[in-house]
A = this chain, B = another copy of it.
Amino acid sequence: MPDVDAAPAVTATRRPRGRPGYDQDTVLRRAIDLFNRQGYDATSINDLAVDLGVTKSAIYHHFDSKEAILAAALDEALDGLDAAVAAAADATRDERAYDRLRATVEGAVHILVAHLPAVTLLLRVRGNSPLEQSALERRRRIDEQLATVVKQAVDEGDLRGDIDPEVISRLVFGMVNSLVDWYHPDGSIPPEALAAGVAGVLFQGLHR
């Protein structure tokens, strides 16, 4: 029965580069944290290597460039938001737009909590490169999709019609996105309560 003793040797063979041998996901997590702490532009692959205590080639083993890391982080944040909003925009579903919208807001809060560092990075992107511009373009399309659902909910008579649907879409995402500035997933407010609270304020308002 050599299984237990053999395991470390197999692991070592699988990770020929990088001490102490971080996998791709760990490199991505640490890179996102470092970008958020000191800014993407101000961070080099060398900074990341020092932070991880590995060689630069250990990082290039997982990612072709610093921009490839940023691309992976932005995709992580955008894919989640995309999926949440696309589900709401699916008008073939036998559900009122109001309910789809409310589910989207709660879904977006959950995405944000589950991918807090990646969403934080996304929200700081200013369009300084074609990659950043394409991320901003994806954000715009998500905003537009949400505005379409808002308009449907107004047309169905469930949502107030006195405010431009695009403004409503921006205010909704404004409140949801602002969570990155203060929410701690391991704090006293569980994600479920947070999602319910945000949706409660947005849809019913603060008035008793």
Does A159 contact B207, Cβ atoms closer than 8 Å? yes
> What sequence of 0s and 1s flags, for each residue 181-202 of chain A, a beta carbon within 8 Å of any chain B beta carbon?
1100000010000100110111
Say which residue of B171, B181, B194 sits within 8 Å of A175 (CB atoms).
B171
Q: How far is the CB of A193 from chain B (nearest CB, A)?
A: 9
Q: How large is the interface on A (under 10, 10 to 19, 20 to 34, 35 or more residues)?
A: 35 or more
Given A160-B207, A178-B175, A178-B178, also A167-B202 (CB < 8 A): no
Does A207 contact B158, Cβ atoms closer than 8 Å? yes
Chain A interface helix/strand/loop/mixed: helix
CB closest residue in chain B, given A179:
B174
Q: How far is the CB of A100 from chain B (nearest CB, A)?
A: 13
A157 close to chain B: CB less than 8 A: yes
A22 close to chain B: CB less than 8 A: no
Say which residue of B175, B197, B205 sits within 8 Å of A204 (CB atoms).
B205
What residues on B are CB-neighbors of A98 within 8 Å? 207
Q: How far is the CB of A103 from chain B (nearest CB, A)?
A: 14
Given A163-B201, A202-B206, A206-B202, also A173-B178 (CB < 8 A): yes
Does B167 contact A204, Cβ atoms closer than 8 Å? no
Q: Which residues of A contact B (CB under 8 A)?
A: 39, 41-42, 98, 157-164, 167-168, 170-175, 177-179, 181-182, 189, 194, 197-198, 200-208
Cross-chain pairs A/B with CB under 8 angstroms, 25 sampled: A98-B207, A157-B208, A158-B208, A159-B206, A159-B208, A162-B197, A163-B200, A163-B201, A167-B194, A167-B197, A170-B182, A171-B178, A171-B198, A172-B206, A173-B178, A174-B175, A174-B177, A174-B179, A175-B175, A201-B202, A202-B206, A203-B207, A204-B205, A205-B205, A205-B206
Q: Supply 10 further A-B pairs (C-beta < 8 A) apart from A175-B175, A204-B207.
A: A98-B207, A157-B208, A159-B207, A163-B200, A168-B206, A171-B201, A172-B206, A174-B174, A177-B178, A205-B207
